[in-house]
Structure 1
Amino acid sequence: MKPEIILKILHKDARNNITVFHRSQTARGALSHTAGVTLNYHEPYYEGWAPSLAMQEEFISMSDLMLIEKHLTAEQWGSQSLGGTIYRLKEAQ
């Protein structure tokens, strides 16, 4: 997805964000790791009658995120085993 499209989607609604997530070892001794980056956005079409569909998500690449990272704020959440970062647009100055 092109960086300008991602920024356009983030500008549409204050609830829109990008989430980077990771999950490490799920069982003692297991050597597994899961990670990803999603663009989370509000879909007004479903507002009011299908709340579970009102928030949509789409996987994007880490390189797409890195191209627009200077326009975003970062909020860490979770721990080493389960967590990540939520990115939102910086407020206009």
Structure 2
Amino acid sequence: MTEHAVPAAEFYTDEFAADPYPAYARLREERPVCPVSSPRFDSYLITRLDDARAALTDPGCPRTSTVPATTTSGSSGRIRRR
């Protein structure tokens, strides 16, 4: 992941939880496909619908067979794609 990645911790602040819409609006305008880095995994946050559709329908877009998730109990789990 590049040095321009947004740390995932920025998405887990009290301010973000209270009102995430300004942050998402800024990302849609400035960084519609935004790399996100965390200690557990690196990913991309796609903030515009047309970009998300393009990524999901492009057979050349890299995917993994599993994605990280948090279960309702708060423990980390894995969700398998069908």
TM normalised by structure 2 equals 0.28
Considering fraction of residues, name the structure with more strand.
Answer: 1
Bigger radius of gyration: 1
TM normalised by structure 1 equals 0.26
User: RCO (CA 8 Å, sep 6+): is it higher in 1 or 2?
Assistant: 1
